[in-house]
Amino acid sequence: MSRRCINGEDFLFFENAESHNNNISAYWTSLKPPNPYVAISDGRSLFCPKDLLELVQLAKDINPAGRRRRPKKAKM
Domain count, the chain: 2
Q: How far apart (Å, rounded) are the C-alpha atoms in residues 31 and 29?
A: 5
Sorted by sequence, the CB contacts under 8 Å of residue 32 that are 6+ apart come out as 10, 26
- Domain span holding position 49: 34-64
Residue 26: inside a domain: yes
Q: Are 42 and 60 members of one domain?
A: yes
Residue 29: inside a domain: yes
Q: How far apart (Å, rounded) are the C-alpha atoms in residues 55 and 36?
A: 20
Sorted by sequence, the CB contacts under 8 Å of residue 26 that are 6+ apart come out as 3, 9, 10, 11, 12, 32
Report the pLDDT value the prediction gives residue 36, as an integer from 0 to 100: 80
Q: Would you place residue 13 in the very low, low, confident or very high pLDDT band (cuts 50, 70, 90)?
A: very high
41-71, pLDDT tens digit by residue?
887 887 788 888 999 999 888 876 666 666 6
Q: Are 29 and 43 members of one domain?
A: no
Which pTM value belongs to this model?
0.42
Amino acid symbol at 70:
R
Residue 75: inside a domain: no
Question: Taking all residues of the chain, what is their mean pLDDT, rounded to a whole number?
Answer: 81
pLDDT above 70 (res 19): yes
